[in-house]
Amino acid sequence: MVRTFTAMLIAALAAAPSAAAAQECAAPGSFVPTRTMTYPRGGHAAPLLTDGRVMLAGSDDRLRHVEIFDPVSQTLAPTGEMNVGRCYGCGVERLADGRILLVGGWEGGPVLTSAELWDPATGSWAFTGSMRDNRLGPNVHKLPDGRILAFSGHTGFTGRDSAEIYDPATEQWTVTGSLSLPRLGVSVTLTDGRILVTGGLASTGAYLQSAEIYHPATGAWTATGSMSDARHGHGAVVMADGRVLVFGGMAVSQQHGFEALRSAEIYDPATGTFTVVGSMTVARTGAAAMSLPDGRVLVAGGLPVLFNPVSSTEIFDPATGTFSPGPSMHQPRWSFALTPLSDGRFLLSGGYGQNNGKLNSMEFFAPCAVADTTPPTIDVPEPIEIEATSVSGAAVAFTASAVDDTDGPVAVVCTPPSGSTFPLGTSTVTCSAEDAAGNTASASFTVRVIDTTAPAIERVSSSVPVLWAPNHRMVDVQISITGVDLADAAPACRVVSVTSSQAANAPGDGNTRVDAVITGPTSVQLRAERTKGQDRTYTIGVECQDASGNVARDSTTVVVQNPLGR
């Protein structure tokens, strides 16, 4: 098979499309992190869909998983899996009707000839016509008439010089003109629809200086001017004026086998020649480039040293032919996917980090800093209702978050803060967030602490548990009630009823009618009498009620009883 290092390079070198008419940026752009992908991805396909979302398909480890990223909501949604985990060197292009075409690649075994289409209407993949030649890391471009050109690539043993065209109407491939030699080069679509391929790796292992152009009108390749440096794994991007900036890559080194390049040059389609310009400040291979609205180019990431990527960027100014430092990415990465978005931003996804580990992180680059007048969006809990756990109320933990369109996640301050103890009743929590531009937002929710637990009556007793002698007199009796409650330090306790085991005017009790009176919250009068020869029991009912109206009931007894048992 082709060397792993080479496959990583050819899988994901990205070039931004031609910029529109140059415009001035109010301030330099910046990188903003966004959510992570479900899986780490390297060598994956990341085409822009017609609705502005981005497909994230496969990886170089035979992953078939595909998900769709929405740059506006910054959310991910799964879609149908690929039929083949082909993105160890797959080619990708969006068709005019919005379908996504994946071609070639490798899933173990022979390099693939097969291709498959993703239909946005169904979210599913279906095989389409296979290429005539198997290709690992093919160059794939949409032609002006909507057909798809695939050329070069590797068989697993040697490079290819062949090219073929896919017709979406018939889903079939036809042969077109071959290149002058097999090459794993970097290609871009020129503003006039022709395809320029530069440098790359020859079947002999040599790094190439030469370049060729494909003419869609004739189906033929012709030689054009050669670069000043032989380079492989380099970057190329069409600038706003139609010329092509070629930069970095690898060159043969007698000491190390290869070395990353700092050099850069510009191809002029009008003259068919390359012109050397100022070198980058950092040698880079596996970097990506973005054409900015003001005509400059930002070069990001890459490897200056084997498996030790950088997060730095630099900006090329075609007016001066020089590079200067640019804003840093949030993650050092190389050989990552770069997707120009519909709103002018770029999405950087996956690739490889330190020690060649695949990344699941993503970040945006906004070419121009614009005035940020949009406040963050705060997410607070729904109203909370909780049972009191103490006299003070209840401790309540909650989570509030905020996301800003420009800054991503921002800090939230809530008053009272999470973990505070809230008193009985309803309290309002107000949360606020501020972004880097000073835009503020606030949101609130309520915390209601309730008490639905009745008090506990721990003890009920009377000051006179036994009345004797039965002299028919009313006796003052004090009732002692001990009530406790989690949420009320002093529940209100009182006597609520007195009943007797004998009738008020039973035979032999002295012919009296009122034998028990509640004289106060915790006091009663009881008549000391009983039916002849039979003990009488007074049952005094009590209750304790807390501030929330929860009630507990209990009772105690007073007995009119002969202590001698007669």
Show Cβ contacts of residue 306 under 8 Å, excluding neighbours closer than 6 positions: none
Stretch 464-490: mean pLDDT:
94
**pLDDT at residue 18, rounded to an integer:** 37
> Are the CB atoms for 250 and 263 separated by under 8 Å?
no
Inter-CA distances, 513 with 199, 502, 510, 527, Å: 120, 11, 9, 10
Show Cβ contacts of residue 18 under 8 Å, excluding neighbours closer than 6 positions: 191, 238, 239, 240, 242, 291
Instruction: Please give the single-letter amino acid code of residue 66.
Output: V
**pLDDT at residue 476, rounded to an integer:** 96
Q: Share the mean pLDDT of the chain.
A: 91
**pLDDT at residue 560, rounded to an integer:** 93
**212-226: per-residue pLDDT in tens?**
999 999 999 999 999
> Are the CB atoms for 31 and 327 separated by under 8 Å?
yes
Domains of the chain: 4-368 (2.120.10.80), 377-450 (2.60.40.10), 456-560 (2.60.40)
> Are the CB atoms for 546 and 485 separated by under 8 Å?
yes
Number of residues that make up the chain: 566
> Are the CB atoms for 101 and 138 separated by under 8 Å?
no
Bridge-partner residues for 443, per DSSP?
431
Stretch 135-143: mean pLDDT:
97
Q: In whole angstroms, what is the distance from residue 218 CA to residue 357 CA?
A: 44
Q: In whole angstroms, what is the distance from residue 249 CA to residue 28 CA?
A: 26
Show Cβ contacts of residue 22 under 8 Å, excluding neighbours closer than 6 positions: 240, 293, 294, 295
**pLDDT at residue 9, rounded to an integer:** 40
- Residue of 281, 274, 163, 162 whose CA lies nearest to 209: 274
Q: Which 8-state DSSP code applies to residue 418?
A: T
Q: In whole angstroms, what is the distance from residue 479 CA to residue 173 CA?
A: 101
What percent of the chain stands above pLDDT 70? 93
CA torsion, ordered 527, 529, 530, 531, to nearest 10 deg: -120
pLDDT surpassing 50 at residue 4 = no
> Are the CB atoms for 140 and 97 separated by under 8 Å?
no
Bridge-partner residues for 426, per DSSP?
448
pLDDT surpassing 50 at residue 481 = yes
**CA-based end-to-end distance of the chain:** 113
pLDDT surpassing 80 at residue 110 = yes
**163-214: per-residue pLDDT in tens?**
999 999 999 999 999 999 999 999 999 999 999 999 999 988 899 999 999 9
Widest distance between CA atoms in the chain:
135
Stretch 72-90: mean pLDDT:
96
Q: In whole angstroms, what is the distance from residue 287 CA to residue 236 CA?
A: 10
> Are the CB atoms for 166 and 117 separated by under 8 Å?
no
For tokens 């398909």, the residue is 57
Stretch 523-542: mean pLDDT:
92
Phi and psi torsions of 124, nearest 5°: -125, 160
- Residue of 331, 344, 249 whose CA lies nearest to 288: 249
> Are the CB atoms for 245 and 289 separated by under 8 Å?
yes
**pLDDT at residue 13, rounded to an integer:** 37
Element at 86 (helix H, strand E): none
Structure-block tokens of residue 305: 């040293």
Stretch 451-467: mean pLDDT:
96
Q: In whole angstroms, what is the distance from residue 337 CA to residue 359 CA?
A: 11
Q: In whole angstroms, what is the distance from residue 113 CA to residue 155 CA?
A: 10
**pLDDT at residue 14, rounded to an integer:** 35
- Residue of 71, 114, 128, 117 whose CA lies nearest to 94: 117
**pLDDT at residue 23, rounded to an integer:** 45
Structure-block tokens of residue 116: 């498959």
**248-273: per-residue pLDDT in tens?**
999 986 555 678 999 999 999 999 99
**pLDDT at residue 255, rounded to an integer:** 58
406 vs 281, residue with greater confidence: 281
Q: Which 8-state DSSP code applies to residue 40?
A: -
Q: Which 8-state DSSP code applies to residue 106?
A: B
Structure-block tokens of residue 69: 């990223």
Structure-block tokens of residue 219: 């189906």
Spatial strand order in the sheet of 264-268: 235-238, 244-247, 264-268, 273-277
**412-456: per-residue pLDDT in tens?**
999 999 999 999 999 999 999 999 889 999 999 999 999 999 999
Q: In whole angstroms, what is the distance from residue 8 CA to residue 2 CA?
A: 10
> Are the CB atoms for 347 and 336 separated by under 8 Å?
no
**pLDDT at residue 253, rounded to an integer:** 64
- Residue of 557, 456, 460, 467 whose CA lies nearest to 509: 467
**pLDDT at residue 306, rounded to an integer:** 74
**pLDDT at residue 95, rounded to an integer:** 98
**28-50: per-residue pLDDT in tens?**
588 999 999 999 999 999 999 99
Say how many CA atoms lie within 13 Å of 104 toward its Cβ.
33
**pLDDT at residue 125, rounded to an integer:** 98
Lowest mean pLDDT among 20-24, 115-119, 156-160: 20-24
Structure-block tokens of residue 410: 């921002």
Q: Which 8-state DSSP code applies to residue 355?
A: G
- 294 band by pLDDT with thresholds 50, 70 and 90: confident
> Are the CB atoms for 149 and 178 separated by under 8 Å?
no
**371-399: per-residue pLDDT in tens?**
778 999 999 999 999 999 999 999 999 99
Stretch 319-347: mean pLDDT:
95
What percent of the chain stands above pLDDT 90? 82
